[in-house]
């Protein structure tokens, strides 16, 4: 969705927004499917010549754990916090978006925030134990039977080191 912010370009003010975005094309190996559209809401604020956009984007995901391969549900919520510029000052700054024809491209801002938030969050739980390299048993369900060395003091030491 493109949001017209012409009024804010003339002077101080606040313009709230809310929109939904079809996640079609946002394909990532860790995301099995989207259980909801990307839902964003927030506001654009103009104050003393600076135009900022703040808000939040939420989406329900069905994910695949990077470590144990188990499916899990995840509610993703990422903050939107960007500066809107009428001229491109720095191409490299990911937090600055350009206003074109009095409009901001909300879809681009929402997608960027969501994608940046994806990194390092593809575990079914923060302390996921993964799978046994020998039998493939999901160690979140408890230890498997193919670890006889667990009785030796060295294995205990190894576990302490792992932790
Ligand atoms: Zn896992
Ligand atoms: Zn095993």
Q: What is the pLDDT of residues 17-37, one digit of tens each?
A: 999 999 988 998 889 999 999
72 CA → ligand 1 middle, Å? 8
pLDDT digits (tens, 9 = 90+) for 63-112: 999 999 999 999 999 999 999 988 766 666 767 888 999 999 999 999 99
For residue 131, give the DSSP letter. B
Cα–ligand 1 centroid distance for 38 (angstroms)? 24
For residue 40, count CB atoms less than 10 angstroms from its CB and return exposed for 0-12, middle for 13-18, buried for 19 or more: buried
CA–centroid distance, 28 to ligand 2, in Å, is: 29
- Provide φ and ψ at 31, rounded to 5°: -105, 115
DSSP 69: -
Q: What is the pLDDT of residue 49?
A: 85
What pTM was estimated for this model as a whole?
0.77
Helix residue spans in the chain (DSSP H): 6-10, 106-118, 153-162
């Amino acid at each position: 969705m493109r949001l017209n912010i012409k009024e804010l370009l003339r002077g101080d003010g606040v313009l709230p927004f809310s929109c939904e975005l079809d996640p079609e094309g946002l394909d990532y190996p860790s995301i099995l499917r989207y259980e909801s559209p990307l839902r964003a809401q927030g506001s654009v604020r103009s104050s003393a010549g600076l135009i900022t956009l703040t808000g939040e984007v939420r989406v329900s995901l069905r994910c695949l754990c990077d470590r144990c391969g188990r499916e899990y549900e995840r509610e993703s919520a990422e903050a939107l916090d960007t500066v809107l510029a009428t001229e491109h000052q720095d191409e490299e700054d990911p937090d600055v978006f350009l206003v074109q024809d009095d409009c901001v491209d909300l879809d681009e801002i929402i997608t960027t925030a969501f994608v940046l938030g994806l990194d390092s969050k593809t575990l079914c739980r923060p302390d996921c134990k993964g799978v046994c390299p020998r039998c493939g048993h999901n160690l979140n369900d408890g230890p498997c039977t193919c670890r006889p060395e667990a009785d030796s003091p060295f294995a205990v030491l190894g576990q302490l080191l792992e932790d």
